[in-house]
A and B are shown apart, each in its own frame.
Chain A
Amino acid sequence: MRVALFLTCVNDTLYPDTGRAVVKLLTRLGVEVDFPMAQTCCGQAHYNTGYRREAEPLARHFSDVFGEYEAIVTPSGSCGAMVRELYPRMAARARAEGRGSTLATALAPVVPKTYELTEFLVDVLGVTDVGAYYPHRVTYHPTCHGLRGLGLGDRPRRLLQAVKGLELVELPGADECCGFGGTFALKNADVSAAMGADKVRNAESTGAEVLCAADNSCLMHIGGTMARLRTGMRPVHIAEILAVTEEEPTL
């Protein structure tokens, strides 16, 4: 099976290790991974800040870049939710405003082929034990768009539970938003920081060394708060846990 990695602009620029982990993990599981070099951004920040018209050409670009692939895999719950949940809505609005149906036609094929990483592993490849080894105490934060947007459910937890050496501890108040919310973190910095601090305190109470999530945007906010509060905990993307094995403990 040949899939396209939709890494997202944030990961490409700031978290290349996550991308390398996805490549390593999927390759190990026998999947052929391609990274279409023309990919950029799904347009989520534009769309969610109110610039829908600016996001539309980015959605179109997404479908140009990824249209030909069998499946599109992304290690970001929120960008995955953007494509799956919001692209159809975007297309419907464009049509309602009398701007033809070409956007809908362009987006229709990519929407159902787009999978968040853990979803792809569990639902498409049918694996929960990916052969990883990670001897650490880990707590899992289910990000909002993964949890409520995509409905990832317990897929990430099942994957983590199957990792050798990993001790999974429950995060109190796991379902609560960490306070990132894209431009929300800038526009409502006080509230966002208060939410982040509460999330970090909850994480700290578990005694875990690592807080893991399936979205680096949230991890950037949580990790930045952890560093400022000097907790000694580390934020790690789930792909980077699932990628390492006893034989190859580094990316």
Chain B
Amino acid sequence: MSGTFVGMPAFPAAAHEAVRDQTLRGNLRHATHTIRAKREKAVAEVADWAQLREAGRRIKDHTLRHLDRYLEQVEEAVTAAGGTVHWAVDADEANRIVTDLVKATGESEVVKVKSMATQEIGLNEALEAEGIRAYETDLAELIVQLGKDRPSHILVPAIHRNRGEIRDIFAREMREWGRPAPDGLTDTPAELAEAARLHLREKFLRAKVGVSGANFMVAETGTLVVVESEGNGRMCLTLPETLISVVGIEKIVPTWRDLEVFLQTLPRSSTAERMNPYTSTWTGTTDGDGPRTFHLVLLDNGRTDTLADEVGRQALRCIRCSACLNVCPVYERAGGHAYGSVYPGPIGAILSPQLRGTASEIDASLPYASSLCGACYEVCPVAIDIPEVLVHLRERVVEGGPVTRAGNKVVLKPAKGHAAERAAMRAARWAFAHPGALRTGQRLASRTRRFHPRTLPGPGRAWSGSRDLPPVPAEPFRDWWQRTHGGKDGAK
């Protein structure tokens, strides 16, 4: 994944600052709560939502089960339609392919449609290293790019910014990248949008190469689909001479009929719209219309490895609607940057440690970045049981186990730094398997209760820093029961 995120601290440390940043908390709270309420309404309008959700889940599972077959079908169809298909096993290979393709056109600029896949591989940075400038054209991505910032949300990458901050970024940075912001720019949405429109228009009309991702690939015709709100993506898809689309291999749906399901669930889940304003589809090349050259780069980058995991593979069903982010209480407080990936929030917490492995500090901490409240699972339009995968990945972190990396089966060792916890868990299990021991511990706690400090040392400090502990009662329940009901002591 993007090199910019390597070396991130573990999630709790990354979240530490965000929790204290009142502006950020305010921006996030306002934005997520607004969209959350709207989504709920948009979903409630659809009488057969549960069936649509189930259909989406099944279509994706079926496609993933036969992914090899559908990928070949895509390649055949795209080639037949005049496009060229490239296979990229990882980020480096994908970046090399795209860079070479751009260089072959002789251009040093590309316009980009908002795309998670190209961010995942750090394409902009790779292009820049080769002297090629990539211009983001999605409004929120533009804000992130101009602000030399990182995206913090799948759908609204600049969700952590408020209007005032955006105005300042436009006024300061636009001239560096092209057409400057108009003098006297205010922070009204209309003025900000107009400044972005003028700035971007110049780019659309000049660019000879466009780079995109895709929301879906329809196997039967080799058609790619981009779903968007602003129409800027459509400009990039149709105006340049060369179009290069980088798409994760899990984006396939078998037929156009399957698309029907997602074109209902995606907009309602993500922007709370009945239908998104722009749905663009493109198939290879067509004489006299759109790009003359079309390249499809099929990106693996850890997806086949993820597919090999029985529990974790459901993460590949994700259609990147971002509904799980908007309902996540942890995301709301920690902000998107704390997840150390272009995939923040609950889906990021299960996707990144699978695509990248759990070796780094940040990836080993992500499965714990959740209280397992289940709100993400409830809203997910393809029914990804995110809590289930989180717990599964926690097990991988603390106990190790078999995983597939780069196509090979390997057995992971437990991650470092969990030895004390593991010992405590084993000890607790032992005590729980011996009710007599548990009872002795309870009695000891009761007898010493006057001496219990209000704040705790060691790991307990994390608790007592912000919460009081309950007092230990004079008598545990089981002693009371035995005293009053004469229950037999079942201690073994």
**Which A residues lie at the B interface, using CB under 8 A?**
7, 9, 11-17, 19-20, 23, 34-41, 43, 45-55, 57-58, 61, 65, 89, 93, 96, 144-145, 148-149, 175-177, 179-197, 220-221, 223-225, 227-228
Contact = CB atoms under 8 A, between A and B. Distances in A.
A192 B488 contact: no
Nearest to A18: B477
A38 B477 contact: no
B433 A190 contact: no
Contacts of B463: 185-186, 189, 224
A179 B373 CA distance: 8
Contacts of A175: 375
A35 B485 contact: yes
A20 B469 CA distance: 21
A205 B481 CA distance: 39
B432 A61 contact: yes
Contacts of A89: 388
Interface stretch (B104-112, B327-335, B339-347): B327-335
Contacts of B488: 37
B26 interface: no
Interface string B376-396: 011000000000100101111
18 contacts: A13-B445, A35-B487, A38-B491, A39-B435, A40-B431, A51-B429, A52-B391, A54-B425, A144-B375, A148-B374, A177-B329, A177-B375, A179-B329, A189-B12, A189-B463, A191-B330, A221-B467, A223-B468
B468 A228 contact: yes
A50 B476 contact: no
Taking each of B370, B466, B476, which has the highest tally of chain A beta carbons within 10 Å of its own beta carbon?
Answer: B466
A188 B15 contact: yes
B399 A51 contact: yes
A195 B329 contact: yes
Question: Is chain B's binding surface mostly helix, strand, loop or mixed?
Answer: helix
B395 A177 contact: no
A214 B39 CA distance: 29
B478 A193 contact: no
Contact of B473 (A14, A187, A192): A14
A47 B392 CA distance: 9
Given A14-B473, A148-B377, A224-B470, A38 B445 contact: no
A228 B475 CA distance: 25
B442 interface: yes
Given A37-B482, A57-B433, A144-B371, A191 B334 contact: yes
Interface string B9-20: 001100110011
A144 B372 contact: yes
A225 B374 contact: no
A192 B396 CA distance: 23
Nearest to A197: B466
For the complex of A and B, 3 pairs with smallest distance between CB atoms? A181-B371, A50-B394, A224-B467
A14 B428 CA distance: 16
Given A16-B480, A39-B435, A188 B445 contact: no
Given A61-B432, A186-B462, A14 B485 contact: no
Contacts of B311: 93
Contacts of A14: 470, 472-473
Given A144-B372, A148-B378, A188-B15, A228 B466 contact: yes
Given A9-B432, A16-B480, A184-B372, A50 B15 contact: no
Given A16-B475, A186-B462, 10 more contacts: A34-B487, A38-B490, A49-B421, A50-B393, A55-B429, A93-B311, A175-B375, A176-B375, A190-B20, A220-B470
Contact of B477 (A12, A41, A46, A191): A12
